[in-house]
């Protein structure tokens, strides 16, 4: 399904609304509706259980959003959490300079892909893309331009060289998508942290930041957690919570928001073991994504050329969103950067005594960091399809269905009396609903023809629909319809619970 329709579907079916919509919305801020909040909670639950419950040596915390202002000095966010910003003087639109330059490279790659498609059509089965890329002069020349621009971009970003970013925008003749002009301001650094003021302290001292990541709440609590849970290294601390970034360009729906939610885990390790743990978490996290049925060709690793101020090594797990492969999760080898910084600024030791080595040290950290909202978008993009199915009369009709993994679906089972105005049916259905709701998030629906009710459940991804008909009254059986296969089976009322439970249990994913 294309991206515009996906956004419309999310609104129409109560997954996501624009924040403060009646006031024409607040840019890049969104609210989750009744089905959205269920799906989001299920994603968080899946992450929490697989990280915390499935690992003896990972524990959770829930730190406050506000932290002592020195935290952000120590973490480097006050000085280095910047994006390069550039304005177009004609359209007055603001852009991230690095994204404009990436867009330039993407445009060149698009030309390559076009040529490859053409060649594919001409040569048919005999076509070998790798060979074509390696031998076609035009493709080679364009690839060279892409590689050179990306290396130069990474260098300028790492060095914070705003002048070179501006030079690239000029040399590559990048135009504003809005005005079409090349009338750009200088490129300057823009800090992404939102700030506010503590009521009773004036000036810099009272300046508070809305946390731009959850990780720092974990670092400053490192010893509290280690001592209170008596964890031995290696061990991890996990957290789910809101983060805030004053993104310059916030587009693409919930992909880039100004208020979002992160699911982060900091894994504290012995210095020198970082490469093996980095490898371990890369693989573990990819497996987590694949377990919910996301196919391998929609996911890929992307190594960072430009490293963030804290990182020794970093890789993204990218997902193929409707607008291309983009970062979904980051795995970062952070060394001892954060704990050492906090030690220095706080004057408090943040060391671990390793009984096996009989020595104290500041542990190294490998972190996994995923945006809950991006995960939500990835799941919906993956699951939402339109397909032809036979309707009640056996005619082909189009249905929109959200093929979410049953363990993550917002509603697990819908209970539907065949007819609304037959009291025997609605009474029986209500009794079944009242029982099932003890175990699952269920829905009772008696409005409209049964076919339309099935379609409504398909659209929100409900894996099972139970229909109560006249046979139910005779022999205590119902039909249960499978969202994906459309097969309807007759089962006994007392078996519905275990039938559904088998398919929707989170254990299926965790195992």
Interacting residues toward ligand ATP by CB under 6 A: 245, 247, 256-257, 260, 262, 327-330, 369-371, 373-374
Close Cβ partners of 409 (under 8 Å, ≥ 6 residues apart):
39, 42, 402, 460, 461, 462, 463, 504
The structure tokens listed for 26 are 């607040």
The distance of closest approach from Cβ of residue 266 to ligand ATP in the complex, given in angstroms and rounded to an integer, is 13
The distance of closest approach from Cβ of residue 373 to ligand ATP in the complex, given in angstroms and rounded to an integer, is 5
61 vs 216: CA distance, rounded Å: 12
The distance of closest approach from Cβ of residue 370 to ligand ATP in the complex, given in angstroms and rounded to an integer, is 5
**Residue 238's closest CA among 270, 267, 273, 212?**
267
Q: Which is nearer to ligand ATP, 46 or 260 (CB)?
A: 260
The distance of closest approach from Cβ of residue 265 to ligand ATP in the complex, given in angstroms and rounded to an integer, is 12
Q: Which is nearer to ligand ATP, 10 or 480 (CB)?
A: 10
92 vs 508: CA distance, rounded Å: 52
The distance of closest approach from Cβ of residue 4 to ligand ATP in the complex, given in angstroms and rounded to an integer, is 20
Q: Which is nearer to ligand ATP, 324 or 390 (CB)?
A: 324
Q: Which is nearer to ligand ATP, 219 or 464 (CB)?
A: 219
The SS3 assignment for 105 reads: helix
Closest residue to ligand ATP using C-beta atoms: 371
Whether 40 and 32 have beta carbons less than 8 Å apart is answered as yes
Q: Which is nearer to ligand ATP, 377 or 468 (CB)?
A: 377
Q: Which is nearer to ligand ATP, 29 or 208 (CB)?
A: 29
38 vs 297: CA distance, rounded Å: 27
The distance of closest approach from Cβ of residue 167 to ligand ATP in the complex, given in angstroms and rounded to an integer, is 23
Q: Which is nearer to ligand ATP, 100 or 233 (CB)?
A: 100
Number of Cβ within a 10 Å radius of residue 121: 9
483 vs 285: CA distance, rounded Å: 28
Close Cβ partners of 398 (under 8 Å, ≥ 6 residues apart):
386, 387, 388, 389
The distance of closest approach from Cβ of residue 187 to ligand ATP in the complex, given in angstroms and rounded to an integer, is 17
**Residue 28's closest CA among 195, 330, 245, 209?**
245
């Amino acid at each position: 399904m294309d991206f515009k329709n996906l956004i419309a579907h999310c609104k129409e079916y109560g997954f996501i609304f624009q924040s403060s919509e009646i006031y024409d919305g607040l840019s890049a801020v969104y609210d989750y509706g009744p089905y959205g909040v269920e799906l989001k909670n299920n994603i968080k639950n899946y992450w929490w259980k697989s990280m915390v419950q499935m690992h003896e040596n990972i524990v959770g915390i829930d730190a406050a959003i506000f932290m002592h202002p020195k935290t952000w000095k120590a973490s480097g966010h006050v000085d280095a959490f910047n994006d390069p910003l550039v304005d177009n003087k004609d359209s007055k639109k603001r852009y991230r300079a690095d994204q404009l330059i990436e867009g330039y490279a993407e445009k060149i790659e698009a030309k390559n892909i076009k040529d490859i498609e053409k060649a594919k059509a001409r040569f048919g089965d005999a076509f070998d893309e790798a060979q074509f890329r390696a031998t076609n002069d035009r493709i080679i020349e364009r690839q060279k331009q892409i590689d050179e621009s990306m290396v130069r971009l990474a260098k300028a970003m790492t060095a914070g060289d705003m002048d070179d970013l501006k030079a690239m925008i000029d040399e590559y003749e990048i135009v504003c998508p809005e005005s079409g002009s090349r009338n750009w301001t200088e490129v300057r650094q823009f800090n992404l942290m939102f700030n506010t003021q503590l009521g009773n302290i004036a000036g810099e001292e009272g300046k508070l930041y809305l946390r731009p990541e959850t990780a720092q709440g974990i670092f400053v609590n490192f010893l509290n957690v280690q001592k209170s849970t008596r964890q031995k290294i290696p061990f991890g601390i996990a957290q789910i919570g809101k983060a805030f970034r004053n993104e310059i360009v916030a587009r693409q729906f919930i992909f880039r928001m100004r208020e979002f939610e992160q699911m982060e885990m900091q894994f504290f390790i012995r210095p020198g073991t970082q490469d093996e743990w980095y490898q371990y978490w890369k693989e573990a996290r990819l497996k987590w994504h694949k377990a919910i049925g996301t196919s391998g060709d929609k996911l890929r690793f992307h190594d960072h050329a430009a490293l963030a101020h804290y990182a020794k090594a970093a890789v993204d797990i990218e997902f193929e969103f409707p607008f291309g492969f983009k970062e979904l999760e980051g795995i970062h080898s952070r060394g001892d950067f954060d704990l050492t910084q906090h030690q220095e600024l706080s004057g408090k030791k943040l060391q671990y005594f390793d009984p096996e080595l009989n020595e104290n040290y500041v542990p190294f950290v490998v972190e996994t960091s995923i945006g809950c909202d991006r995960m939500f978008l990835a799941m919906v993009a993956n699951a939402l399809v339109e397909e032809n199915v036979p309707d009640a009369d056996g005619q082909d009709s189009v249905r929109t269905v959200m093929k979410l993994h049953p363990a993550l679906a917002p509603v697990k089972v819908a209970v539907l009396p065949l007819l609304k105005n037959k009291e025997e049916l609605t009474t029986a259905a209500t009794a079944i609903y009242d029982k099932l709701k003890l175990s699952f998030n269920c829905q009772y629906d008696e409005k409209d023809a049964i076919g339309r009710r099935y379609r409504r459940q398909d659209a929100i991804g409900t894996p099972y629909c139970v229909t109560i008909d006249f046979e139910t009254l005779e022999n205590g059986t119902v039909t249960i319809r499978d969202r994906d296969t459309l097969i309807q089976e007759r089962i006994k009322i007392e078996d519905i619970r275990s039938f559904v439970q088998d398919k929707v249990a989170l254990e299926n994913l965790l195992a």
